[in-house]
Amino acid sequence: MEGYSGSISELLNSICDSIIKIGIVVFFHHNPGALDTAEGLARWVGRNKEEVEKALLELSRTGVVEAFGEGPSTIYSYTQDEEILNTIDEFIDGLSRESSPLKKTVSLLEGH
Amino acid sequence: MMRQLPTGIEGLDDILCGGLMPVSATLLEGPPGCGKTTLGIQFIVNGIMKGEPGLIITFEQFAQQLYNDAKNFGWNLQEMERQKKLRVICTSPATVRDHLLQSEGIVHSFINRLGIKRVLVDSVSHFRRVTENDSELRELLFSMINAFKQRGITVALTKEMGMKEEPSFEEYVVDAIVNLSYEHVGQSRVRTVEVIKTRGHDHISGKHFFRFESSGIKIFPANTRVYVEDPPEFPALIATGINGLDRMVGGGIIPGSSILLCGPAGTGKTTLSLQSIYNVVTKYNRKAVLFLTGESKESVARIAGGFGWDLQDLQQRGLFRIIENDFTKINIDEYLIQIRNVLQEFKPAIVSVDSLPAVLHTIRDNLGLVTEKIRFLNNLFKAYRCVSFLIVRTPLGSNRISVYGEEEALCDGIMILGSRKVGQTRRRNIEVYKLRNQKHVFGECGMDISKNGIKVFYVGKGGGR
């Protein structure tokens, strides 16, 4: 990710390698109090449960989401880490700018 | 006795006789779009204002949607979350079942961390996603409510329902039920709220109109008992200043009396009420209000001006007010509450409602409602001790003295204005047909309207009935 420091760039790269992950991050960004299982979150973001489950596992590894419990009843919430939150805020705001090539994609994910 | 918890929602606490019981569960039920979620959020926001952190659990609406909807009412939920006074959780019923009911569950950690006192669950209808079995659903709801209650939380739960639905198991599990619905009143569609059940405290039954205002839902509880802590002090009788008429009724009218002023068009009803108002203000230095619904402000000012009564001057002196409303757009309960607020704040000695049928226009097809509202109106005037003239135009040549037939029994007095053709001329007359608790002249007296106003030709001592 151009213009970002090493660890932040790594974090953003790990999100941007999948449209499902971007969708989940955008959902949590707008609904920071969301708290649900993979199945529940799949319904919120309008995606297939298996894809969402896989994306959530990866996002929990990078600290973007927090996982509680084990197995199918594991529930996920948005990170409380201020640094990650600020990075994602900045990243999503950047994506939403007129000049961003991903603006259309983000708008679709936001349901506009 | 436990002290009730005010919801802070204008009008709702009147209907609930003070508020909800603390640590209770209330069902907010109604059809889609009737305002259940808004009412629930308002309950949470009002709690936060009082230092009681809140939790909103939503199964369908995105938090983002709730943030945006709440902004329309001036509630910044995101800021409340930042200040750790609120948490909005988007989740699913299964997650609540599996995690909320565990004492060490993640939802409980929020509850403990924020010190949550009020919870909104929007909506319990989604529990059907977990099971369709009614006894399992009842058990699930019961467990969830108890989990909150054990932590000292007062919970509101929304539930979707059709316009006509049989009582459901949710209604048995909760402590209070507030039903929201749409009603057809005349040609318009209005929102109503009705408290169906409360455990441990009283409530005012019946449907009450409500409206979305810029600061949230406002309910107009016009069926409530009227109690005034500081009723204004007036003399034993309030004179109209129309000498002949005052003599007919023994010197004046008892404060708090509602007088039906009826008669065909052109018989002087508006003039008589205006003259009484003008006299009470100028001769006795007391306040007066004219509630206009049928007549326009301009036409009334023209009538008064024709007799040399300067209404604008009275207004400028702060002793007179004209409250004008378009009768086709009146929401009756809202209007009655408007009258109550004016009486409370201004404390007039005399008021005129011109005209009563116009006030009741939007509920004219529902006689029960008409009776209820006239009774409330009369109770208001009685509580604030002002003499009221309620103007009713009756068809020429008919024997009717009211439009609905109910007004006659409900009002304290009836004055009938008329005219009779004698030869080539028409002679005016006035009759005090009824006046509760007051001796008055029985039968017609002659009346004239000249450039100085109304003159009643009664020279006797008064009394007789």
- CB contacts under 8 A, B 60-79 vs A, are 62-64
CB B330 within 8 A of CB B188: no
pLDDT at B172: 83
Please report residues of B whose CB lies closer than 8 A to that of A39: 92, 94
Cis check for the bond before B388: say yes or no (omega within 30 of 0). no
* Identity of the residue in A43, A44, A73 whose CB atom sits nearest the CB atom of B98: A73
Same domain, B262 and B215: no
- B119: contact with A, CB 8 A cutoff: no
Question: Which domain covers residue B94, as residue numbers?
Answer: 12-220
In the predicted model, residues of chain A with pLDDT beneath 70 are 1-8, 96-112
CB contact under 8 A, A36 and B64: no
- Among B52-61, B270-279, B327-336, whose mean pLDDT is lowest? B327-336
CB contact under 8 A, A35 and B91: yes
CB contact under 8 A, B92 and A75: no
pLDDT at B465: 39
Three-state SS at B84: coil
Provide mean pLDDT across the span B286-299.
91
- Residue A100 CA: distances (Å) to CA of A20, A87, B214: 19, 17, 37
B308: left (phi over 0), alpha (psi -120 to 50) or beta: left
Same domain, B180 and B322: no
Strand order in the sheet with A75-78: A35-37, A75-78, A65-68
CB contact under 8 A, A31 and B106: no
Please report residues of B whose CB lies closer than 8 A to that of A37: 92, 94-95
Q: What is the pLDDT confidence band of residue B463, given thresholds at 50, 70 and 90?
A: very low
- Smallest CA–CA distance, residue B150 to chain A, in Å, is 22
Residue B229 within any structural domain of the chain: no
pLDDT at B166: 67
* Identity of the residue in B64, B98, B99 whose CB atom sits nearest the CB atom of A31: B64
Q: What is the pLDDT confidence band of residue B113, given thresholds at 50, 70 and 90?
A: confident
Residue B237 within any structural domain of the chain: no
Please report residues of A whose CB lies closer than 8 A to that of B64: 30-31
Predicted TM-score (pTM) of the model is 0.73
Same domain, B30 and B161: yes
Q: What is the pLDDT confidence band of residue B1, given thresholds at 50, 70 and 90?
A: low
Residue B443 within any structural domain of the chain: yes
In chain A, the residue whose alpha carbon lies closest to the alpha carbon of B95 is A36
In chain B, the residue whose alpha carbon lies closest to the alpha carbon of A75 is B95
Provide mean pLDDT across the span B203-216.
89
Q: What percent of chain B has pLDDT over 70?
A: 95
The domain boundary residue, chosen from B171, B205, B220: B220
CB atoms within 10 A of CB B328: 12
What's the structural domain count of chain B?
2
Written as one string, the DSSP assignment of chain A is -TTS-HHHHHHHHHHHT-HHHHHHHHHHHH-TT-EEEHHHHHHHHT--HHHHHHHHHHHHHTTSEEEESSGGG-EEEE---HHHHHHHHHHHHHHHSTT-TTHHHHHHHTT-
pLDDT at B410: 92
- A86: contact with B, CB 8 A cutoff: no
- Smallest CA–CA distance, residue B9 to chain A, in Å, is 26
Quote the DSSP letter at residue B281.
H
Same domain, B117 and B164: yes
Residue B225 within any structural domain of the chain: no
Q: B166 or A36, which is more confident?
A: A36
What are the tens digits of pLDDT across the range B331-357?
888 899 899 999 999 999 999 999 999
CB contact under 8 A, B95 and A43: no
Same domain, B176 and B295: no
Task: Tell me: pLDDT of B72 over 90.
Answer: yes
What are the tens digits of pLDDT across the range B3-60?
788 999 988 998 898 899 999 999 999 998 899 999 999 999 999 999 999 999 999 9
Here the CATH number for the domain that contains residue B140 is: 3.40.50.300
pLDDT at A103: 63
Residue B247 within any structural domain of the chain: yes
Same domain, B269 and B407: yes
Q: For chain B, how big is the Rg over CA atoms in Å?
A: 28
- B87: contact with A, CB 8 A cutoff: yes
- Among A89-98, B377-386, B393-402, B424-433, whose mean pLDDT is lowest? A89-98
Q: What is the pLDDT confidence band of residue B462, given thresholds at 50, 70 and 90?
A: very low
Taking the C-alpha atoms of residue B381 and residue B289, their distance in angstroms, rounded to an integer, is 12
pLDDT at B214: 93
Range picked from A89-103, B154-168, B258-272 for highest mean pLDDT: B258-272
